[in-house]
Chains A and B, each alone.
Chain A
């Protein structure tokens, strides 16, 4: 299947490129394409197995990027061709896949796989070959502690920085209004804890007291004891390092105890489409950081949502957006460096991304020396029965409501 499809795309792509090259004879393309061949982008993704759902989402994101870019004439006048291998959600295969893509298939560019734990081995292979490695899924802090010189995470922020905009906002409040006590409850999971503890660190440094700090195992179903601790602490503010169901359960348990904080923030859960119904529509004022929303006001996002919806029939979610963002970063680098092939060109690409600020569907991105993005997530809040962007100020759809109404 894959092979046949690839051949077909290859043929179409070559045809299209030829036509373009003929048509563009003496055209205004400054780089006067040193080659007419398509730019081949190599990727390994979990299309089967445990991660097949998000894996396919990432695949759709890459495909949307290739199509939208090609429809506009490609990069440097060359069409983009994706070469996607299936790693079957198996970490052992990912190294072999990238060896094959770079070594024997001689792809021009590689981009990252899905799932954090696959990013490190894949990036190592890319580094050995001196290739630029932009990736959509490596948010854990270990990824940035490996000393990679070629890796860039194409998202606004790693877990610990998700709440940065909220921290800034709260610490800037006048003394009388600023919350003075905070309760934290986080799932025993690096991502969920990362989000809550990132905010905890910043608020504690700003003199806001931590009164409850609870960690619960991933499959906890009974949150009444944790809720009792939080409710009796009467903390001004509540931060939940949650995934989905745990966040819902904790909120219901807190509502049962009639706990009314001035502010409540949960990671991931409140942005889910089922959230409002799950907690009986008592969502008013709940905050959540979000890496991607279809409503984000950035120019390329409007184009992405529109064309993606036309291509796939439904609007893109975060997995798709992260892959698309990865493509945008690569495209910007290729355009700026004026080349896309293995060898010296790769170092040019890496050097360019290192100092660049790239406009993407998740806003402008830039990176520190470890490849960690310097941004923060947007903060959304449930206002009037809908979830809206409230921070940062330049992207907001409405003002943050503080203190939040009772739930």
Chain B
């Protein structure tokens, strides 16, 4: 039986990890909600943002957090363009299937370019405060992890407020709920879908920066992330942002706690076990999201 101190430490680490998962999964579920698009390249953009943060720190000497001033607008614009120029051209009948192929190609292109420009060497941002930590009832919280968690929390809150309180957010949610009906009441769904996509990719920019603060990055790292993220959005209910966030926290915590008993290799399987269980017993997901039933 693991000691209380270890359990408490693992719970804290799990929550910090879950926060990051929540932000990343929120973007991924948004794409599916808006367009029924399975965005395989989401995590590739995540790693791209991490590389940009690393590069701006090591080459330009600026704090990685400041790189978001550039990457967030850049990613938002890329998202809009990606949706309008590529994904909008896919035929509605085969959209979901074809979007897998299209975004898979984008992911491979990003990975290839990263490898070409930065080589396959593993990189890590070396921050002055990289190993400092705060103490909380005997457990330790690394400052960088706390910053990453804070970024995720603030972004999720901002996303929530945009979705709930702004006209654009209402239009976006209407488009997610019923595209044709949204069109009928006068919403320009194409435009909204484009912006929604941009919003999703902007979360990848923030997530990537948060990620780069405390882990090693290498070009093919995105394959390591896309599986768990896909599992999270299915468990949370496809298209549901709060569902994805809740599922992310639960699974992140579960992964962290299972590592105590099972070790790193086997703890990763918690995502896939949860995925199977969800598909077998509750395909619409555990936290809202009625979309999966229809597809």
A residues with CB within 8 A of B: 188, 214-217, 219-222, 224-226, 228-229, 231-232, 244-245, 248-249, 252-253, 255-258, 277-280, 282
Q: Separation in Å of the B210 CB from the closest CB of chain A?
A: 13
Please measure, in the bound complex, the distance between the C-alpha atom of A332 and the C-alpha atom of B131, giving whole angstroms. 50
Known contacts A219-B224, A225-B264, A256-B142, A245 near B216 by CB under 8 Å? yes
Q: Separation in Å of the A277 CB from the closest CB of chain B?
A: 6
Q: Separation in Å of the A153 CB from the closest CB of chain B?
A: 29
Which residues 114-152 of B have a CB within 8 angstroms of A?
A: 122, 124, 126, 128, 130-133, 135, 140, 142, 144-145
B9 in contact with A228 (CB, 8 Å): yes
Q: Separation in Å of the A142 CB from the closest CB of chain B?
A: 23
Which residues 1-49 of B have a CB within 8 angstroms of A?
A: 2-3, 5-6, 9-10, 13, 17
Q: Separation in Å of the B197 CB from the closest CB of chain A?
A: 28
* Interface 9-residue window, one of B69-77, B85-93, B255-263, B271-279: B255-263
Q: Closest A-chain residue to B4, C-beta based?
A: A232
Q: Separation in Å of the B201 CB from the closest CB of chain A?
A: 22
Q: Separation in Å of the B54 CB from the closest CB of chain A?
A: 13
B5 in contact with A232 (CB, 8 Å): yes
Choose among B13, B144, B218, B221 the residue that contacts A228 (Cβ–Cβ < 8 A).
B13
Q: Separation in Å of the A256 CB from the closest CB of chain B?
A: 4
Known contacts A214-B263, A228-B6, A256-B133, A222 near B126 by CB under 8 Å? no
Q: Closest B-chain residue to A279, C-beta based?
A: B131
Using Cβ atoms and an 8 Å threshold, which residues of chain B touch A219?
218, 221, 224
Choose among A188, A224, A228, A256 the residue that contacts B131 (Cβ–Cβ < 8 A).
A256
Q: Closest A-chain residue to B220, C-beta based?
A: A219
Interface assignment of B267: CB less than 8 Å from any CB of chain A: yes
Interface residues contributed by chain B, number (CB under 8 Å): 34
Choose among A228, A229, A249, A257 the residue that contacts B216 (Cβ–Cβ < 8 A).
A249
Please measure, in the bound complex, the distance between the C-alpha atom of A233 and the C-alpha atom of B293, giving whole angstroms. 47
A-B CB contact pairs (8 Å), 29 listed: A188-B265, A214-B263, A215-B263, A215-B265, A216-B264, A219-B221, A221-B215, A221-B224, A222-B17, A222-B215, A225-B13, A225-B260, A226-B264, A231-B140, A232-B3, A232-B6, A232-B9, A245-B122, A249-B124, A252-B131, A253-B142, A256-B133, A256-B140, A256-B142, A257-B142, A278-B126, A280-B126, A280-B128, A282-B131
Q: Closest A-chain residue to B211, C-beta based?
A: A221
Using Cβ atoms and an 8 Å threshold, which residues of chain B touch A279?
131
Please measure, in the bound complex, the distance between the C-alpha atom of A257 and the C-alpha atom of B138, giving whole angstroms. 10
Using Cβ atoms and an 8 Å threshold, which residues of chain A touch B131?
252, 255-256, 279-280, 282
Please measure, in the bound complex, the distance between the C-alpha atom of A188 and the C-alpha atom of B263, giving whole angstroms. 12
Using Cβ atoms and an 8 Å threshold, which residues of chain A touch B224?
219, 221
Q: Separation in Å of the A406 CB from the closest CB of chain B?
A: 12
A257 in contact with B140 (CB, 8 Å): yes
Contact pattern, B 138-173, Cβ under 8 Å of A = 1, otherwise 0: 001010110000000000000000000000000000
Please measure, in the bound complex, the distance between the C-alpha atom of A324 and the C-alpha atom of B189, giving whole angstroms. 70
Please measure, in the bound complex, the distance between the C-alpha atom of A278 and the C-alpha atom of B3, giving whole angstroms. 32
Q: Separation in Å of the B115 CB from the closest CB of chain A?
A: 14
Using Cβ atoms and an 8 Å threshold, which residues of chain B touch A226?
259, 264
Please measure, in the bound complex, the distance between the C-alpha atom of A305 and the C-alpha atom of B140, giving whole angstroms. 46
Please measure, in the bound complex, the distance between the C-alpha atom of A231 and the C-alpha atom of B216, giving whole angstroms. 21
Q: Separation in Å of the B78 CB from the closest CB of chain A?
A: 25
Q: Closest A-chain residue to B224, C-beta based?
A: A219
B216 in contact with A225 (CB, 8 Å): no
Please measure, in the bound complex, the distance between the C-alpha atom of A215 and the C-alpha atom of B265, giving whole angstroms. 8
A224 in contact with B13 (CB, 8 Å): yes
The 6 nearest A-B residue pairs measured at CB = A255-B131, A256-B142, A225-B259, A232-B6, A245-B122, A221-B215
Please measure, in the bound complex, the distance between the C-alpha atom of A214 and the C-alpha atom of B265, giving whole angstroms. 10
